[in-house]
Amino acid sequence: MARQSASSTSQHPLIANWTLHRWINRQALMPVVCLSFLLTFASTNVQAELPANANALKWYKAGQSFVKQQKRFTRGKKRAKNVILFVGDGMSITTVTASRIYEGQMNGANGEEHMLSFENFPHTALSKTYAVDRQVADSAPTATAMMTGVKTRFRTLGVDASASHGDCQNGHLRTLLESAEIKGLSTGFVTTTRATHATSAATFAHAIERDYESEGGGCADIAQQLIEFPFGDGLEVAMGGGRQMFIPVSEGGKRKDGRDLTAEWQAKYKGATYVTDTASLKSVDKNTDHLLGLFSDSHMSFSELRDQSPKGEPSLTEMTGKAIELLQKNRKGFFLMVEGGRIDHGHHAGIAKLALTETIEFSNAIRRATELVGSDTLIIVTADHSHTMTMAGYPRRGNPILGFAGRDANDRRYTTLTYANGPGHRDPTKEGVELDLSNTDTEAFDFKQAAAVPLRFETHGGEDVAIYASGPGSQWINGVMEQNVIFHVMNEALLGGK
């Protein structure tokens, strides 16, 4: 955060007195801390579709007020033509640190001094990730907060906390992607999870239950909502896994309604293309207007384990590059959400190496984006929530990050990275459990780090996650922010708050 403070000072050259500068920083944070004060006294001229529910409106207006307060100190900044939101699913601050070290070590250095591509962005902040009903959230309400400006309940997508099962209409929240389409911008998402999974679904779908991917509990399911998207001229880019959610059971899919949504996509849009592997993605003509890419039946493979042949799956970097190439055709601009979704899955499996290699690929995709866009693009990098991985012990400088940190009270070796809970728990009372890891390859892709509490799957963590930002509007990213404020920063930068 020291880098942020220096950056903030350079934004306000007239502020020479340190005490005054600290007072101004406190004022910038007050909207997050004192929501009731803001709701009483703040006003806005933004002409937006406001949430109908009173509690949802509270979150929305508080986020607006935060951005309005930040703008007082950063006048004269131009609007963003484009916005790219990169979401590292489960990318905790510990994950960033460990991945930074791991990539540096793979490049032959000690690692600690290394930087991931986005760590050089000029503006940083912390994001509070709780849901309205949970201290520790899942990806559905956290993604909804970032895409709609409103915090909501556990497992719900694109709806406020008033939404109930069986009610297909009430509580819907307008997403940034929907607003961008209405304004004539191009839009899209890229993910390494199923296209209908929580984070990507939050850009376009509205569901009381995130698992309504191919069946909607009486309402339109998430895959159906993607194909029947009613705003603007529809998404220009949708890429990820989850092919089974789009095709009927008779063709090996999950759909019981008999619909082939991949065929419907191609029939619905002029200039539409559907691709299923790396070769077909690379062959997509730049004049394609609507691209649907579904590269696996369920989630895409982990980056280091994927089939890299032409008939295999493209990398996140390759998908990101193609998405930007297509979206940049629109002179009005674009909005793109890119998710490194399998960082989260590596952590849930208790396998740190998978999470770290996914984070490095995520960083590669961000680097590629920065090469393709100009200074008129706001890029925000963040996580939806954290995980329970910790980095501890007293390992020497340059010690392998996936290696041993020292010995425990029983003189057994333990690793630098461990989990608070998960499948890596080793119960000494169970026969055949190996407690001494001295002869274990801790850098293997199937090695599970030790976990204190035994669980089938490791859980999310509840601490704040980092936000990194560059480009027009990035100056409003600072301090400790409610997660839903990220939406308001993007909305203000891209659409002028409208």
> Is residue 155 within 8 Å of residue 147, measured between CB atoms?
no
Q: For residue 205, which of 180, 174, 182, 239 has the smallest C-alpha distance?
A: 174
- Say which residues have a Cβ less than 8 Å from residue 450's Cβ, sequence separation at least 6: 414, 415, 418, 419, 424, 425, 426
- The whole-angstrom separation of Cα 420 and Cα 399 is 22
Catalytic residue among 139, 179, 186, 386: 139
Q: What are phi and psi of 197, to 5 degrees?
A: -75, 170
* Residue 321: exposure state from Cβ atoms within 10 A (0-12, 13-18, ≥19): buried
DSSP state of 133: S
Cβ neighbours of residue 409 closer than 8 Å, sequence gap 6 or more: none
Q: What is the secondary structure of 69-101 as a DSSP string?
A: HHHTTSTTPPPPSEEEEEEETT--HHHHHHHHH
* Cβ contact 323:239 at 8 Å: yes
User: 99 catalytic, yes or no?
Assistant: no
Cα gap 355→362, rounded to integer Å? 10
What's the CA gap between 334 and 344, in Å, rounded?
A: 27
- 371: its two tokens: 């090469």
Rounded CA-CA distance 185/177 in Å is 9
Residues in the chain: 498
Residues 372, 378, 383, CA angle at the centre, nearest 5°?
Answer: 100
How are strands ordered across the β-sheet holding 82-88? 272-275, 290-294, 237-241, 186-194, 334-340, 82-88, 377-382, 465-470, 123-128, 480-482
Give the DSSP H or E segment for 415. Answer: strand 413-415
Task: State how far the Cα of 480 lies from the Cα of 342, in Å rounded to an integer.
Answer: 26
Q: How far apart are CA 200 and CA 147, in angstroms?
A: 10
Contact 174, 148 (CB under 8 A): yes
Largest CA distance in the chain: 71
Asked whether the beta carbons of 189 and 338 are under 8 A apart, the reply is: yes
Active-site positions read 139
